[in-house]
């Protein structure tokens, strides 16, 4: 009888210690999972590309933002880009996103800061883009050969305008760089042949 009681107590202690150990382990794992940075989870599980109003957006796992990837319907003439998707801002237009498109009027989402290389190149019907004021960087050849772009352009945040970004865009009425912060003029870069304006027009930079 005594041996049975000792054996029963021994098994009870093993079971109790086992349950306690499992509980401690599960509590630790749950705590660690809750403390994981959300950004690291997103980097391992990025969103798939999504199409909204004929525009394909892709998720950038480095910046945790969406970017305009391409126009999926070339018959679209008037377009407004999304401000955000799933709560994440749309911050950029990727290279060649609107290359040789038939778009005539486009309004940028309020968080877009970057326009990539060749983004609108040879979009010969483009007449107006609303949102230049917020743009910080324009890639090379971004608007090259947009021969019908005819508007006043004002930059408020620009830091870089790439090689021949507006080359052969001769209907622009005026270009004004009036930055929000005077210190930004020290880091402003305008690459070679960024503009090819007629002699009657001037590039106005007012620090």
> Which of the residue ranges 41-50, 74-83, 166-175, 195-204 has the most confident prediction, judged by mean pLDDT?
74-83
Per-residue pLDDT, 86: 94
Q: Give the pLDDT band (50/70/90) at residue 9.
A: very low
Average pLDDT over residues 192-200: 77
pLDDT 10s digits, 91-148: 999 999 999 999 999 999 999 999 999 999 999 999 999 999 999 999 999 999 999 9
Q: How many helices (H) and strands (E) does the chain have?
A: 2, 15
Q: Is 68's pLDDT higher than 60?
A: yes
Average pLDDT over residues 74-89: 96
Per-residue pLDDT, 45: 45
Per-residue pLDDT, 185: 92
Per-residue pLDDT, 207: 67
At 167, phi and psi to the nearest 5?
-70, 140
| Run of H or E residues at 67 | strand 65-71
Per-residue pLDDT, 201: 55
Average per-residue pLDDT in the chain?
83
Q: Is 134 exposed, middle or buried (0-12, 13-18, 19+ CB in 10 A)?
A: middle
Per-residue pLDDT, 197: 76
Q: Which structure tokens are listed for 139?
A: 């890639």
pTM of the model: 0.77
Q: Which structure tokens are listed for 127?
A: 């007449």
Helices (H), the chain: 2-35, 38-44
Q: Give the pLDDT band (50/70/90) at residue 47.
A: confident
Q: Residue 124 and residue 119: Cα distance in Å, rounded? A: 13
Percent of the chain with pLDDT over 70: 73
Q: Give the pLDDT band (50/70/90) at residue 199.
A: low
Residue 137 near residue 117, CB atoms below 8 Å: no
């Amino acid at each position: 009888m005594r041996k049975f009681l000792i054996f029963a107590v021994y098994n009870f202690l093993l079971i109790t210690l086992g349950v306690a150990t499992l509980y401690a382990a599960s509590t630790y794992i749950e705590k660690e999972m809750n403390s994981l940075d959300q950004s690291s989870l997103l980097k391992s599980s990025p969103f798939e590309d999504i199409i909204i109003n004929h525009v394909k957006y892709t998720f950038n796992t480095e910046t945790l933002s969406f970017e305009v990837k391409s126009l999926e319907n070339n018959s679209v003439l008037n377009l407004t880009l999304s401000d955000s998707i799933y709560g994440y801002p749309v911050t950029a237009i990727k290279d060649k996103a609107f290359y040789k498109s038939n778009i005539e009027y486009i309004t940028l989402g309020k968080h877009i800061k970057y326009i990539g290389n060749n983004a609108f190149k040879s979009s010969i019907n483009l007449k107006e883009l609303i949102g230049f004021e917020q743009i910080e960087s324009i890639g090379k050849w971004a608007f090259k050969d947009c021969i019908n772009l005819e508007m006043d352009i004002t930059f408020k945040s620009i830091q870089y305008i790439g090689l021949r970004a507006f080359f052969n865009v001769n209907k622009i009425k005026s270009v004004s760089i009036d930055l929000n912060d005077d210190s930004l003029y020290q880091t402003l870069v305008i690459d070679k042949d960024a503009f090819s304006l007629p002699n009657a027009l001037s590039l106005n930079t007012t620090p």
